[in-house]
Amino acid sequence: MARDGVERIINAMITVLYFARLREALGTGSETIKLPADVSNIDNLRAHLIARGGVWADELQKTAIRAAINQSMASGDSAIADGDEVAFFPPVTGG
């Protein structure tokens, strides 16, 4: 990978949004994160956040947690890029 490609990954900044129960449990609705070089997709990001331990691990390890990138539903292997907005939210039911 070219030097500028490596720097772009190392310096990648994303916004992470937390909705509903997650926002309440984590005590924040959003944060800006400088991504470690080894975080390139949703699964990696979840693992990175789970590694914080405590309530982060308790909430984000739940398999039903959904994710979106730039307001489009995303799977675990969906790539994350510099400037992306990533949202995590529990499943919702209508009524």
- For residue 53, tell me if it sits in a domain: yes
Within a domain: residue 95?
no
Two tokens at 15? 């916004």
pTM for this entry: 0.85
Position 61 in a domain: yes
Domain assignment present for 37: yes
pLDDT at res. 3: 37
Question: Domain limits at 41?
Answer: 3-89
| Cβ–Cβ < 8 Å for 60, 48 | no
Number of domains in the chain: 1
What CATH number is attached to the domain comprising 35? Answer: 3.10.20.30
**Sole residue written with tokens 């390139």:** 40
pLDDT tens track for 38-58: 899 999 999 999 999 999 999
How crowded is the C-beta side of 81, counted as CA atoms within 13 Å? Answer: 2
Tell me the three state secondary structure of residue 64. coil
Answer whether residue 94 is part of any domain: no
pLDDT for 80 equals 95
